[in-house]
Amino acid sequence: MAKNKKFLVDIDMDLNIIKNVASPTASGHVATYEWVTGLLSVETSEREAVDLTLDTKISNIISNSTAPIIDSFTEVVSDIVSTNSTEVSSRVSGDASVEADLSTEASRAISAEASLASVLSVSNSTEIAARISGDASLTSALSVERSQTIGLGITLNNAINTEISRAESAEASLAAAVGASLSADVSTIESGLSAEISRAESSELVLTNNLNDEISRATSAEVVVADRLNITPVVSSFTIGDGINTEFVLNHALGATDVIVQVYEIATGETVDTGSIRVDNQNVNIVFNTIPTSASYKVVIMGIKAFNY
């Protein structure tokens, strides 16, 4: 909690204004402009209200009274005027007392302003001196810090240069080592590639020869398969009938007994049933029940020619 401060000397405000002063609530407090004008405003309002009420009452009495009553009222008015004179004197005396209090309060305020100005002057001088001293100390500290920073910068720069030199030397050594290693590796790789290329070429030649042999075998096999798959049916036809014989041996030369034999009459184109005997893989014997007339029948023999595997 802040403590009250006392000024033991006069305070000269040099015609400046003290602001933000609270309204007085007890004797000895500083009177403010708002507080004084408030009192005067209340006093004026009360006087105006009393005068208005009095004028109204007088008008009512005059308009509703006879001459004797008015005379009596005149006496009353004289008494009121006398009373008002006393009241006015009392109020004038009170106003004088208020003005005296205001003058006393103004003197107190002026004294307080002078004390405050003195204290502020002393305080400001002390603060200025302290700030000047602090600025000097700060300037000195900054100068020392700047010197140390410059020295540190020089040291750091030297260290960086040394590190750069080390890095460049290490880089040169590494480049030389990598170059030598790469040369050896390249030689080894080239030798290995040459050997690998030779092996690959030899393998490729062997593979090419094998592929050529396989292609030849495959071509031969394709020819054989084609021959074996060429099973187009072979058809042989014979005209028979001589008016003498009832049996006719026909050579179809298919080399197989798996043949189909069909006989039909040439004149009508009608298929007839006759006996047909596969004598061997080259011949078929056609047998009639009656002697056929000359060149009256056609024999068709169909089969697949045999081939050797």
Kindly report, residue by residue over 108-163, the tens digit of the pLDDT. Answer: 767 766 666 565 566 667 877 888 888 888 888 888 888 887 888 788 888 888 89
Q: Are 280 and 273 in contact (CB under 8 A)?
A: no
* Average confidence (pLDDT) over 234-248: 95
Residue 286: strand, helix, or coil: strand
Q: What is the pLDDT of residue 107?
A: 78
Q: Do residues 264 and 270 make contact, with C-beta atoms less than 8 angstroms apart?
A: yes
Provide mean pLDDT across the span 33-38: 87
Q: How far is CA 245 from CA 76, 110, 275, in A?
A: 199, 180, 14
| Whether the Cβ atoms of residue 286 and residue 248 lie closer than 8 Å to each other | yes
Measured CA to CA, the distance from residue 199 to residue 213 in angstroms comes to 21
Of residues 166 and 104, more confidence is placed in 166
Distance (Å, rounded) from C-alpha 109 to C-alpha 129?
30
pTM (two decimals) = 0.29
